[in-house]
């Protein structure tokens, strides 16, 4: 029975990994973004940001969940923006895009029929990357603000509540103001 479960788990991970190795969408998943954040922030700050009262594992789960929710919202927003661009008058669009049509700007195959999907993907990916950069920049600012001296840590805790979630509050404030 254990062998069957092991094989099932292996199969569940093999397909996405093969897809990622081919450069598919799985290569830029929420999980990859969270692993990058964990590496850049450090385990303690990562846990403080995503699960101040939980475990490192629950922090990773909450990070992935957070990234998936924002990615879904970014896709909806990108779809609306691309639909608005596609619905623009042809002359107005061409004027704004160096004389190219919507399909010419975003299309990537022989007949440019994939333009809408490529537009949504490009806009959503750009917004995801911007949010990731904002979070990492806010984290770095909070590390600096917290400092390493007793006085700076005390001031940091006073400003952000002094609980386990102080780092998360700091990152949230810095990210919102960016």
**Which residue, chain included where needed, has tokens 């999980």?**
31
User: Using CA atoms, how far apart are residues 43 and 31, in angstroms rounded to an integer?
Assistant: 15
Q: Which of 89, 88, 77 is nearest to 120 (CA)?
A: 77
Q: What pTM was computed for the model?
A: 0.75
Question: Tens digit of pLDDT per residue, the chain (178 long)?
Answer: 444 444 444 444 444 443 333 334 533 589 999 999 999 999 999 999 999 888 888 999 999 999 999 999 999 999 999 999 999 999 999 999 999 999 999 998 888 889 999 999 999 999 999 999 999 999 999 999 999 999 999 999 999 988 888 999 999 999 998 7
Q: Which residues contact 60 (CB under 8 A, 6 or more apart)?
A: 34, 38, 50
Give the number of other CB atoms < 10 A from CB of residue 40.
14
């Amino acid at each position: 029975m254990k062998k069957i479960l092991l094989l099932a788990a292996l199969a569940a991970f093999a397909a996405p990994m093969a897809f990622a190795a081919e450069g598919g969408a799985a290569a830029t998943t929420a999980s990859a973004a969270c692993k990058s954040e964990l590496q850049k922030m450090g385990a303690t700050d990562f846990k403080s940001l995503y699960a101040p009262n939980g475990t490192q594992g629950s922090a990773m789960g909450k990070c992935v969940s957070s990234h998936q929710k924002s990615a879904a919202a970014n896709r909806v927003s990108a779809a609306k923006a691309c639909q608005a661009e596609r619905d623009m008058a042809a002359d107005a669009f061409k004027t704004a895009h160096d004389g190219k049509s919507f399909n010419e700007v975003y299309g990537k195959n022989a007949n440019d029929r994939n333009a809408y999907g490529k537009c949504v993907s490009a806009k959503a990916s750009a917004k995801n990357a911007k949010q990731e950069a904002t979070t990492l920049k806010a984290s770095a600012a909070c590390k600096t603000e917290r400092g390493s001296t007793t006085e700076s840590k005390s001031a940091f805790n006073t400003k952000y509540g002094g609980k386990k979630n102080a780092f998360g509050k700091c990152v949230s404030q810095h990210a919102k103001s960016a």
